[in-house]
Amino acid sequence: MSSSSSPPAAVQLCYEHLNGSCVKTPYSPASRVILYTVFGSGTVLAVFGNPLVMISILHFRPLHSPTNFLITSLACADFLVGVTVMPFSTVRSVESCWYFGRSFCTFHSCCDVAFCYSSLFHLCFISINRYIAVTDPLLYPTKFTVSVSRLCICISWVLPLTYSGAVFYTGACDDGLEELSSALNCIGGCQIVINQYWVLVHFLSFFIPTLVMLILYGNIFLVARQQAKKIANIDGKTESSSDSYKSRVAKRERKAAKTLGITVIAFMISWLPYSIDSLTDGFMGFITPAYIYEICCWCAYYNSAMNPLIYALFYPWFRKAIKVIVSGRVFKNSSASMSLFSQQM
């Protein structure tokens, strides 16, 4: 009696002619086109959108301020995510194989953690900056100076880079998990195993700054409501020039805080799935399916592409700066001193 069952499909490998190659789980051609389009679009936004933010702030002198210098440095971190992390993660996610070598896998993972945590630190300092600006707008220029901004930028780069390098280049991340690491790291794979201690450190490094930002923006919201009531009362009376100035400053700072608050919320929404998944995986034996892990990673990566879109939606000066840059007027000698603010500001 002949069997009607079809023979099993041949197993595809990342490297067909190498022993110890990882098994490849390819998508259909249509799915691959869609995934490359989705991931590639995020990469293009991060690589080209963030330099527009940096050029806008650094070129136009009216935009030189402690807050905007922090935003420039944040855009630099997001740009580096787009250059060093997202293109290679796109290939890994779609092809389910790592074709760039083991050494670059470690470098890629190091950049991933360093630049993403640098973004988080920048956002935390921006939150502190906005809190001071909203709660004490008249004394803010003397409290948060350019020198203070530079110190915050240095901390936001040095700590993540040092931490990431120490974790991935000393082998500390997989202490006690050497057998699992050897089993997972077949040829064509790039899976960094992190033990429970460093998983907890990763999570706290995300959770503590995020909690600080939530507390600060909660207070900013309460102060903003109080200021809005006071301004409404002032507007209903004959206001002095001093009161008028205070109300304009308060309105401006609240508007900036609102926009940056949206940036912080976008960051938390993007990074929360990955942080929870990493914590769960570390303490439950790496049970997350590969596709769930990839979704969490790309939610986090896409945050580096969202910030320029947020600035374009909520900052009129950024839209004006883009028009000047794209039109080529940025090369005129007088463009650096051009005013990008509306009369209301």
Instruction: Supply the Cα-derived Rg of the chain in whole angstroms.
Output: 24
* CA distances (Å), origin 19, targets 13, 14, 98, 228: 10, 11, 16, 69
C-alpha angle with apex 95: 80 to 195, nearest 5 degrees? 65
User: Of the given ranges (22-26, 201-205, 249-253, 307-311), which has the lowest mean pLDDT?
Assistant: 249-253
Among candidate residues 122, 75, 107, 108, the one with its CA nearest the CA of residue 306:
75
Average pLDDT estimate for 34-58? 93
> What confidence score (pLDDT) does residue 81 get?
94
Residue 275 has pLDDT above 90, yes or no: no
> What confidence score (pLDDT) does residue 51 get?
93
> What confidence score (pLDDT) does residue 172 get?
67
**Which residue's structure tokens are 């907890």?**
200
- The model carries a pTM of 0.84
> What confidence score (pLDDT) does residue 2 get?
42
Amino acid at 64: H
> What confidence score (pLDDT) does residue 25 get?
82
Question: What rounded mean pLDDT belongs to the chain?
Answer: 81
How far, in Å, CA of 345 to CA of 332, rounded?
A: 25
How far, in Å, CA of 8 to CA of 274, rounded?
A: 35
> What confidence score (pLDDT) does residue 345 get?
39
Higher-confidence residue: 183 or 326?
326
Residue 110 has pLDDT above 70, yes or no: yes
**Which residue's structure tokens are 């809190």?**
131
Higher-confidence residue: 180 or 215?
215
Residue 26 has pLDDT above 80, yes or no: no
Average pLDDT estimate for 176-195? 72
How far, in Å, CA of 39 to CA of 29, rounded?
A: 15
Dihedrals φ, ψ of 187, to 5°? Answer: -70, 120
- Are 22 and 14 within 8 A, CB to CB? yes
Q: Which residues contact 252 (CB under 8 A, 6 or more apart)?
A: 345
Helices (H), the chain: 29-59, 66-84, 86-95, 102-135, 140-143, 146-169, 178-184, 196-235, 241-283, 290-301, 303-314, 316-327
The domains found in the chain, sorted by start residue, are 29-326 (1.20.1070.10)
> What confidence score (pLDDT) does residue 42 get?
93
Residue 7 has pLDDT above 70, yes or no: no
